[in-house]
Structure 1
Amino acid sequence: MDKTETTVKAYNACAADFTAKFMDLALYKDSLNHFINLVPAGAKILDAGCGPGNIARLLLEKQKGFRVSGFDLSPEMVKLAINNVPGASFQIGDIRNLSSWEPGYDAIIAAFSIVHLSNDETLQFIRNVSCLLKAEGLFYLSCIQGDHAGYATTSFSRKEIYFNRFSRNFILTALTGHNFNIVNTFSQAYPEPDGTTSTELFFYARKMPL
């Protein structure tokens, strides 16, 4: 079983527990609200790796006329998203293959989606996001800081999930190398179940006109 299949099975099994922990976005509202304030009213937004629809719900609560669609590779997460956020559209999809999505988005959000990708897959994803965004379109990207990958259980999953960690420089280089201008970056601590903390990285980028 490869890393993606293992990870999807784990998320299918823990979808309810993940939703209970993260649906209110307590740890991430500040970072998301800062990004949302940059996005113009009426924007067409894609949530790549939408989970149970927590970010889509926050977007629609802003009442800025956003047109929100999202996708996730976990069927159970997509079911929850459809139920939780009837005002958005969701489908099963793989961030490693964005060929079914038409260009023309004003903003794309990838909240901890790349943590389940290899370095090469992440570079391809960022390249594809650049193709899908309009000129001046906005990109929200978050990940875990580090320099290694492997499998781990979490506070919301007893089954192992594949996690990759990235250096700040790796992401910055990938973004600037694919026609993005960096708007802002910051980091925050995430409390792990064993009492340690991980560092989470957040990037706001804007696609430059060609």
Structure 2
Amino acid sequence: MSEELTTAAELFDAIGAGYEEAFGRRPVVDAAVRELLAVLPPAARVLDIGSGTGRPAAADLAAAGHRVTGIDVSAEMVRIAREQVPEAEFVQADLREWESEPGTWAAVCAFFAFLQLTRLETERALGRIADWLAPGGRFALVTVPADVEDVPVDFLGHSIRVTSFPADALADRVRAAGLEVTGTRAEAFAPGKPGAEPEEHVLISARKPG
């Protein structure tokens, strides 16, 4: 195991394409994207937070004709995503600092984007996402549910610290941000790379009233 990496940017710059090799097509992410494709109007504006390599989420949404913007804290992930999904826009940015006009997005995705944020930062991010969504807009959140805070774990050969919530507690925080939870789905996932342990994934689907 390497020495502890203190930021998400350092972690994902180091992992690069290896992340997609291990976690490429996760069933709950595919389910989240299918849900969005079923309800979004044509050419909808979609924000993909923690867009990673751009696949599968941004790629599938852009292929369906939606206008996708991905933000990721890792310069290497943004480079890979721009190469793999040229029909979408990718920006290197930290969610905690990135700004958007209120009511401008038909959908926001956040797939495993909060695991290296504090609980307070996650709550603040949910509030900002609710503000960014247009009335009736959709939010799809996928994470690893757990009652953990600042816990060291081994992830693809790197030591990192993670924070999460139990699924019910996270759904409560989505509601507290002003969004209506429309469904949840949980599934076990076994990554396809040595050093990546099986884990539970949960999808929380929500919409902004209006």
**Alpha carbons 1:98, 1:128 under 8 Å: kept:** no
**1:160 partner SS:** strand
> Equivalent residue for 1:19?
20
Which structure 2 residues correspond to residues 13-162 of structure 1 after superposition, within 5 A?
13-23=14-24, 25-27=25-27, 28-54=29-55, 55-61=57-63, 63=64, 65-99=65-99, 101-103=100-102, 104-149=104-149, 150-154=151-155, 157-162=156-161
- Describe the SS at the equivalent of 1:187: strand
Aligned to 1:188: 187
Secondary structure of the 2:20 match is helix
CA contact (8 A) 1:190 1:200 kept: yes
SS at match of 2:140: strand
How far apart are the structure 1 equivalents of 2:185 and 2:105?
24
Q: Which amino acid aligns with 2:188?
A: A
| Alpha-carbon offset, residue 198 of structure 1 | 2.5
Higher relative contact order (CA 8 A, sep 6+): 2
Distance 2:53 2:31 in 1: 19
Query: What SS does the aligned partner of 1:114 have?
Result: coil
How many angstroms does 1:66 deviate by? 0.6
Match for 1:41: what amino acid?
P
RMSD: 2.1
Count of residue pairs the alignment pairs up: 201
Residue ranges of structure 1 left out of the alignment (5+ in a row): none
Which piece of structure 1 moves more, 30-39 or 180-189? Answer: 30-39
CA contact (8 A) 1:130 1:207 kept: yes
Q: Cα 1:91–1:194, aligned 2, differ >3 Å: closer, same or farther?
A: closer
| TM-score, structure 2 as length reference | 0.87
- TM-score, normalization by structure 1: 0.87
Cα distance in 2 for partners of 1:132, 1:31 equals 19
